[in-house]
């Protein structure tokens, strides 16, 4: 049975990522589908903009947590030694599957979010120091521009730079994952990028959302 665990956990990682938090929260508590409002994205940012912080913050926490749980699945494989190349390969694989699940969730008609919170959760486990560097870039970008999309893309681009060049992480699987991070984020934010270039992107408002 143990030999099947990596494959079983791979499916579980995808299913964890597929939990459509924003969709379920909007349907259960607001009797609407978040994808029909705002940017149409099933993510924390759009939830905060449309439904407010009380709805958006739990969505963000769960979306981060589901990626963390997916990556930690490797620790339940008894024959994989922690710190080995195989261990890191499974970590990176499960992280990627959770992110794919969030973007293309089987539980929500394969219409999910852009993956930022889930990517962040995976990054926390994959390499915390690199994640911290990326988060600082994200925070500074939002503080100066108030564009969440720009902050997300810049943070994504920063991650492989931190992993490969700054911290010189030796594991190939981590390096590949770190390179995939900005690719995924830029692809899911391609419409935002177009609006940024046209000066049409919506800035994030930090004030509390008022319910009508």
Cα(60)–Cα(31) distance, rounded to whole angstroms? 19
* pLDDT confidence tier of residue 212, bands split at 50, 70 and 90: very low
Above 50 in pLDDT, residue 211?
Answer: no
User: For 72-77, which contacts have Cβ atoms below 8 Å and span 24 or more sequence positions?
Assistant: 72/125, 73/9, 73/12, 73/13, 74/9, 76/5, 76/9, 77/2, 77/5, 77/6, 77/9
Average pLDDT over residues 69-92: 94
Q: What percentage of the chain carries pLDDT values higher than 90? A: 90
Average pLDDT, the chain: 93
CB 68 within 8 A of CB 124: yes
DSSP 84: S
Q: Is the model's pLDDT at 17 over the cut of 60? A: yes
Half-sphere exposure (CA, 13 Å, Cβ side) for 66?
A: 29
* Amino acid 210: pLDDT: 47
User: Tens digit of pLDDT for each residue in 152-189?
Assistant: 999 999 999 999 999 999 899 999 999 999 999 999 99
Please give the C-alpha separations between residue 130 and each of 61, 148, 154, in angstroms, as whole numbers: 20, 19, 13
Other residues' Cβ atoms within 10 Å of the Cβ of residue 12:
19
Q: What band does 1 get if pLDDT is binned at 50, 70 and 90?
A: low
Mean pLDDT over 9-21 rounds to: 97
- Say whether pLDDT at 208 is over 60: no
CA torsion sign for 142, 146, 151, 152 is positive
Looking at residue 207, its pLDDT comes to 58
Alpha carbons within 13 A on the beta-carbon side of 181: 36
Query: Residue 28 has what pLDDT?
Result: 95
* CA gap 209, 205 in Å, rounded: 9
Distance CA 44, CA 30 (A): 15
């Amino acid at each position: 049975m143990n030999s099947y665990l990596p494959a079983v956990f791979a499916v579980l990682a995808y299913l964890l990522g597929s939990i459509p938090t924003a969709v379920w929260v909007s349907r259960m508590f607001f009797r609407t589908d978040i994808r029909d409002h705002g940017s149409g994205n099933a993510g924390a940012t759009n939830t905060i903009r449309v439904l407010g912080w009380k709805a958006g913050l739990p969505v963000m926490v769960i979306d981060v947590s589901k990626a963390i749980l997916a990556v930690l699945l490797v620790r339940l494989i008894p024959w994989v030694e922690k710190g080995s190349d195989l261990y890191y390969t499974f970590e990176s694989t499960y992280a990627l599957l959770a992110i794919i699940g969030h973007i293309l969730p089987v539980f929500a008609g394969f219409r999910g979010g852009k993956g930022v919170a889930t990517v962040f959760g995976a990054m926390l486990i994959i390499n915390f120091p690199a994640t911290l560097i990326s988060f600082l870039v994200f925070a500074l970008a939002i503080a100066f521009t108030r564009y969440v999309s720009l902050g997300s893309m810049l943070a994504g681009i920063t991650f492989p730079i931190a992993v490969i060049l700054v911290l010189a992480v030796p594991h190939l699987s981590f390096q590949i994952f770190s390179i995939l991070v900005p690719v995924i984020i830029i692809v899911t934010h391609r419409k935002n990028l177009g609006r940024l270039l046209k000066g049409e992107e919506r800035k994030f408002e930090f004030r509390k959302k008022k319910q009508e």
